[in-house]
Amino acid sequence: MLVTSVGKLRLERPGMVASGIMDETGPSMMRMLRSGAGAVVTKSIGTKPNPGHPNPVFTELKAGYINAMGLPNPGIELFGEEMAAAAKAGHIIGSIYGSSPEEFSKLAGKMEEYGAAAVELNLSCPHATGYGMELGTDPAVIRSIVSAVKSSVTIPVWTKLTPNTHMIKDLAVAVREGGGDAIVAINTVKAMVISPQFGKPILSNKFGGLSGPAIRSIGVRAVFDIRTAVDIPIVGVGGISDWKDAVQYLIAGACAFQVGSAVGTKGLGVFDTINLEL
Amino acid sequence: MSDTVRIIGVTEDSFDTKTFEFQWDERASPGQFIMVWMPGMEEIPMSLSKTDRIKSITVKNIGADTHKLHSLGIGDPIRIRGPYGKGFDIKKGARMLIVGGGVGIAAVIPVVKETGADTIIGAKTEKEIIMDDVAGKYSKNLWISTDDGSRGYMGNAVQLMREKAAEKEYDVVLACGPEVMLYHLYNACTELDIDCQFSLERHMKCGVGVCGSCMMDDVRICKDGPVLNREQISKLKDFGTSKMDECGRRVNLG
């Protein structure tokens, strides 16, 4: 089996659970660790409880899923309960979202206190106003947030980038300049699905993020581009469901990878299968 | 997968409950559910109350979304996706007792039809009893309980189940209904050492086992359930005690 590390963080198993997947509660994260994941990235957690967007927030498409959950989460204070047992069971990467460097720093500090092995800055969610990719497509904003978080925690700081940009190399350079320890690429691709029968968008938020096999080639290209721009570790994510998909990301320049949608299409055994095949 | 289907039949089951039929060729088994949506409502999970080529959902009008569904007439379209989850595991030769509480009978009625097993329908009052005609036609024995005694046995479905289980041996109880009923039914099954399979419910978003919104402990109700057996239920601390709201906060059940 491939043993790898993302900077200082050593992973006995290279496949992690991507943020947003089976990671809102302690028991669900522990189940994913037992299912063979090398680490679990939490649902993105903000400063306050957030119900997310109303249903429909999700649907299956021919080659993937589209979702606009809208960052539902119980808020950083209550999330401590969920982290308590999970962080003892294995590597938990705390995904966080905020609207300013101060909010990100406060959230990262809490995650460190809760025992997170690293934080992952969500600067890439495509379906939440004022958060995610609305901040994460501006290199100057990325630099200031990464640098603020770096100065407030001692655990590694990862930044998840969006593919919804023509300048992903500039975003990657901004992460490095801010002192970021690693880049996670990619988040979902901004997309929309319309019901032809009703003549209306299906998601309540109208647009959402596309994931699954449909976006794998976009992710591999993004990782390849990022690798030409910076030399910090890259975690590849987007449409991985077997070892061949994972290897594409590793060859493009990633040192580890995350799996999301395939947890639904292949089942919880997907991590064991990929790890064994590698 | 997803489809947009047209309503081909509407049945008024009671003063507040209607069944909507549509043709959908996806294979589905009793106990599975679909996500239902049309513009102007939130998408909601619904158990299938018919699981052959002609399928149906049975809707109790309890809120804005079910109110919207009640406006549907013949020829109207709805968007559905699924069928999702694991349904009832019907073992040949097992002595089964089926229990439906309130509108919960809709989720088990396909099993009544398939097996002809003894059935209990429980409701608060006579006017909330639905599907007694179909259950009466297919089940070997049909017993009815109402809390106020306006029809059948006076008491709840669990009390009636205990009486019937004392008279006759059963291997397994299959049930759907309010969680408080299922909680007491589970305790009864444990005491009497009868296996059980219950259809459970939690707030659902994705329906396919990825988002983690409908967890009970480490079990995904949408994917590992919605039907769980006695052994699975025995490990759930959340059963009958707590659920998560849309934010993922834990809320105690009243």
Provide ipTM, 2 decimals. 0.94
- Residue B71 CB contacts under 8 Å (≥ 6 apart), including other chains: none
pLDDT at A1 over 70: no
Total domains present in chain A: 1
What pLDDT is recorded for position B40? 96
Across chain A, mean pLDDT equals: 96
pLDDT of residue A131 exceeding 80, the answer is yes
pLDDT band at A2 (very low <50, low <70, confident <90, very high): confident
Interface of A with B (CB under 8 A): 20-25, 27-28, 30-31, 43, 49-52, 54-60, 65, 67, 69, 72-75, 78, 81, 195, 197-198, 200, 202, 204, 260-261, 263-264
Is the Cβ–Cβ distance between B247 and A72 less than 8 Å? yes
CA distance A124 to A134: 8
Residue A64: inside a domain, yes or no? no
pLDDT category at B1 given cuts 50, 70, 90 is confident
Q: Are B5 and B23 in contact (CB under 8 A)?
A: yes
In A, which residues are within 8 Å of B2 by CB distance?
59-60
For residue A130, give its domain range. 4-52+70-189+213-277
Contact A51 B247 (CB under 8 A): yes
User: What's the pLDDT at A271?
Assistant: 95
Question: Taking 80 as the threshold, does the pLDDT of residue B108 lie above it?
Answer: yes
Q: Domain for residue A196, yes or no?
A: no
Asked whether residue A205 is assigned to any structural domain, the reply reads no
Q: Which residues does B contribute to its contact with A (CB < 8 Å)? A: 1-2, 4, 35, 37-39, 42-44, 77, 79, 81, 205-213, 215, 217-218, 220, 223, 244-250
In this structure, is residue A207 part of a structural domain? no
Tens of pLDDT, residues A93-118: 999 999 999 999 999 999 999 999 99
Q: What are the tokens at B125?
A: 């009052």
Q: Which residues pair with A192 in a beta bridge?
A: A207
pLDDT of amino acid B200: 98
Tokens of A234: 């890259």
Domains of chain B: 2-84 (2.40.30.10), 96-252 (3.40.50.80)
For a pLDDT cut of 70, what percent of chain B falls above it? 100
Residue B103 has a CB neighbour count (10 Å cut-off) of 26
Rounded to whole angstroms, the Cα distance separating B155 from B147 reads 5
Distance from CA of B140 to the nearest CA of A (A): 39
pLDDT at residue B254 above 80?
A: no
Average pLDDT over residues B39-61: 97
- Average pLDDT of A115-137? 94
- Residue A208 inside a domain? The answer is no
Question: Is A255 annotated as catalytic?
Answer: no
Mean model confidence pLDDT for chain B: 97
Residue A157 placed within a domain: yes
- Does residue A59 fall inside a structural domain? no
> What is the CATH number for A228?
3.20.20.70
Asked if A69's CB is within 8 angstroms of B43's CB, the reply is no
CA–CA dist B38, B29 (Å, integer): 24
Instruction: Determine, yes or no, domain membership for A65.
Output: no
